[in-house]
């Protein structure tokens, strides 16, 4: 379950302590009232790997109302995740609406995104995926 705002804030600002692979983070949790917030910024890793993050958060529910996660190396966009529904694509049904855009034809080539959620923090999954697949660091 998505934790309370104060707990999520502590988690966001302790990412560098939790994940030594992170070199720098510009993530900012911006409150928009007592129960709503926006998370935005970039997490930088070695080898010029960058995770760009945006989340729209409702801590009354508690849910992630919307998100966008993009992974790049230098200027090259490697892949991204979004929850834009594609109900007519049966390949994505198993994780609907969560999916990952991958090469080739990154805009139109979508695959399921197991593990992504509106009810759980997604950053641990994304960071661990980067460590495993792009930095060769075991979980």
Give the residue extent of every domain in the chain: 5-133
Query: Given this model, what pLDDT does residue 138 score?
Result: 67
Q: Which of 58, 68, 85, 74 is nearest to 123 (CA)?
A: 68
- The model's pLDDT over 121-138, given as tens digits with 9 standing for 90+, comes to 999 999 999 999 999 876
Query: Given this model, what pLDDT does residue 139 score?
Result: 56
Does this model's pTM top 0.85?
yes
What is the C-alpha to C-alpha distance for residues 15 and 42, in angstroms, rounded to an integer? 12
Q: Residue 13 — φ and ψ, nearest 5°?
A: -85, 0
């Amino acid at each position: 379950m998505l934790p309370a705002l104060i707990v999520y804030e502590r988690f966001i600002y302790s990412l560098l302590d939790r994940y030594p692979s992170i070199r720098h983070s510009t993530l900012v949790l911006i409150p928009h009232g007592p129960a709503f917030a926006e998370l935005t910024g970039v997490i930088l890793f070695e080898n010029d790997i960058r995770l760009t993050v945006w989340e729209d958060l409702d801590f009354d529910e508690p849910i992630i109302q919307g998100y966008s996660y993009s992974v790049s190396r230098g200027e090259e966009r490697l892949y991204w995740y979004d929850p834009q529904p594609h109900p007519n694509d049966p390949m994505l049904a198993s994780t609907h609406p969560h999916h990952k855009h991958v090469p080739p034809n990154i805009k139109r080539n979508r695959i399921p995104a197991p593990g992504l959620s509106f009810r759980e923090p997604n950053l641990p999954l994304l960071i661990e995926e980067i460590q495993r697949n792009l930095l060769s660091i075991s979980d």
